[in-house]
Structure 1
Amino acid sequence: MAGRAEVEPGNEQAVANHYAALRTEITQIYSKINELEMEVSEHSLVINAIQPLDPSRRCYRMIGGVLVERTVKEVLPAVQRNREGLQEVIARLNEALEKKKKEISDFEAKYKIRIRKTDEMKDENSKKEGSAQGVLVGPAGTEE
């Protein structure tokens, strides 16, 4: 495990921090996958729009912020290659996501981490509030 910081068994704060970092990484991977899936969708829309057109028809493509004039015959294969590349990156990110999920579940098992649901937290709070009911405290410093 070179490059990873091992968490000391007795240090709860370090365990919590490492767990939070793992969860953040998973969230970032999900976010990137969603972003790339949107790009694949946009590429598919473009492909479907220009595929039936005449190959010699004029077409514009944005390359690095510069709008370039090309033909459909030149642009269509490039857009298809880009979409395929994006799909490969998404597949690799999905593999990384699965590894990260396994890592976090192993971490949860190792340190016996449980995630509290909001319902459980509400129940706990109501139990705490309920145990304090019925206790009357008089004003301080009043002696007769």
Structure 2
Amino acid sequence: MSPLTYFLLLFSSRIISFFYREKMASKSESKEPVNEQVIANMYGAMRSELNQIYSKITELEMEVSEHSLVINAIQPLDPSRRCYRMIGGVLVERTIKEVLPAVQRNKEGLEEVIARLNETLEKKKKEIVDFETKYKIRIKKSDGDAKDESSKKEGSAQGVLVGPASSSQ
């Protein structure tokens, strides 16, 4: 098993176990959040988690793109030709015949992890939408937009008002 395949399996199992623990923890909590600050904090954590999933998907898609470039570059070459491959931080000399299948397997593994992350992303989006609906969460707009909207929607149902998620996390 190549180091990248091992990493992908380890990484995907950690992500799955993380989300499983989160799901079990949220099911075991029978208490409803008590105040708006707790709700806002929970919502912020959910948004942060969503952003982390997005960034991991983007990172892995870049790796898939790099794998595709390598495959396209070495596929038309003579299979007995020498090439070099980085394995665990060590550059090793191999032939294209040995390297090409390994790179293709790694690319397929990355694509599987991306598919799982996309499924998790969709579940998390649904969970956030349900949370927003349950607690009537509205996203605070910028000052100019907020003035226009507040004059239109005075007297609407109360809910939790949350600022935009910061992208610095």
TM bracket (short chain): 0.7 to 0.9
In the alignment of these two chains, the number of paired residues is: 125
Cα distance in structure 2, aligned partners of 1:2 and 1:52: 50
Task: Provide Cα deviations, 1:18-48, integer angstroms capped at 9, x if missing partner.
Answer: 0000000000000000000000000000000
Structure 1 counterpart of 2:146, one-letter code: M
Counterpart for residue 24 of structure 2: 2
SS at match of 1:38: helix
* Structure ID, larger Rg: 1
Task: Provide Cα deviations, 1:60-81, integer angstroms capped at 9, x if missing partner.
Answer: 0000100000000000000000
Structure 2 counterpart of 1:27, one-letter code: N
SS at match of 2:138: coil
User: Runs of 4+ in structure 1 displaced over 6 angstroms?
Assistant: none
1:25 aligns with 2:49: yes
**Amino-acid identity (%):** 77
SS at match of 1:2: helix
Superposition deviation, residue 6 in structure 1: 5.4
Stretches of structure 2 lacking an aligned partner (at least 5 in a row):
1-22, 151-169
Task: Provide Cα deviations, 1:41-62, integer angstroms capped at 9, x if missing partner.
Answer: 0000000000000000001000
Superposition TM-score, scaled by structure 1 size: 0.81
Superposition deviation, residue 3 in structure 1: 1.1
Counterpart for residue 106 of structure 2: 82
CA RMSD, Structure 1 to Structure 2 (Å): 1.8
Superposition deviation, residue 91 in structure 1: 0.3
Stretches of structure 1 lacking an aligned partner (at least 5 in a row):
126-144
Cα distance in structure 2, aligned partners of 1:116 and 1:74: 55
1:91 aligns with 2:109: no
